[in-house]
Structure 1
Amino acid sequence: MTTSPLHTDDHQVPPLDDDLANVLDDLVAIHAGVDLIRSGIRLLALDRHTTDNTQTLLAALAGSNGADILTALAHLIARLSTADTNPALRHLPLNQQKAAQQHGEAAQFDLTDPDLHQHASEASAAITSH
């Protein structure tokens, strides 16, 4: 029986780098949904992936403009910053509601820009399956 070369010390998944770990730590206890996102990011970062799965994950995270996590976050930001879809903002003066909505729409516009998704898409495309 041969041992798979993927199960050597050279193929261990390294711990989180400081930048990612610090961002995740800064997001603790904001909301249960954010904690779930943090857990998902941590799992994705520390899990062992196949080449095919890595390619799919890169596209699903940010490289499939219109059908990826970054696009979903863009729409969520717009939703949360609009009084029509977030009743928590309805008590604010109208000028504050409009300002929040405009900034949310600008964030949505920027985060759905195809150029922002291009590098993740190219990274996904650069990985060839065996």
Structure 2
Amino acid sequence: MADRAPHPNPVHTAGNAVPPLDTDLAGTLDDLDGIHPGIDLIRDGIRLLALDRHTTDGTQTLLAALAGSAGADVITAIGNLVARLATADHNPALRTLPLDTQKAAQRHGEQAAFHLSDPDLAAHASEASAAITDT
């Protein structure tokens, strides 16, 4: 059997392997296990994003899409989902609650959406994205 030529891309070496999940991220994902199939899909997506190999350009885009573009990122989408789930008009499960409880839940959901879409919250992820330059 002929010797194989070395791989032309030195990135694919043991020293450049994508490391396993750190204990903080792995623990958070474990804590969210089994709550709802939608949450399990989100967990799977986060795990895929964390363990996949990315380009610098792709990393910039992911940082912005995840949390660095207030109003157009995953954090904003989650805030909008929180507001929707906390509103009886959109979540029939809440319609059996007393009206004052419905209104309190809605108010807090709306405040969560407002704060999660705050540009200050997105600033650091946006700056991380901007700091990555393809040289």
TM range (shorter): over 0.9
Deviation string 1:3-60 (CA, Å, 9 cap, x unpaired) is: 3110111210111011100110011111110000000000000011111110100010
The match for 2:104 is 99
Superposition deviation, residue 2 in structure 1: 5.2
State the distance in 1 between where 2:67 and 2:6 align.
38
> Aligned residue for 1:8?
13
Structure 1 alignment gaps of length 5 or more: none
TM-score after normalising by structure 1: 0.96
Among residues 23, 26, 29, which one is paired with 1:18 in the alignment?
Answer: 23
State the aligned residue count: 130
Deviation at 1:82, TM superposition (A): 0.4
Q: Which residue of 1 aligns with 2:132?
A: 127
TM-score of the superposed pair, with normalisation by structure 2: 0.93
Q: Give me the CA root mean square deviation.
A: 1.0
Supply the distance in 1 between the matched residues of 2:67 and 2:134 (Cα, whole angstroms): 20
Counterpart CA distance in 1 for 2:91 and 2:119 is 27
Residue 129 of structure 1 deviates from its aligned partner by 2.1
| 2:88 counterpart residue number | 83
The answer for the alignment partner of 2:122 in structure 1 is: 117
**Bigger shift: residues 1-10 or 58-67:** 1-10
Q: Which of structures 1 and 2 has the bigger CA Rg?
A: 2
AA in 1 matched with 2:64: A
Structure 2 counterpart of 1:9, which letter?
Answer: A
1:52 maps to which residue?
57
% identity of equivalent residues: 70
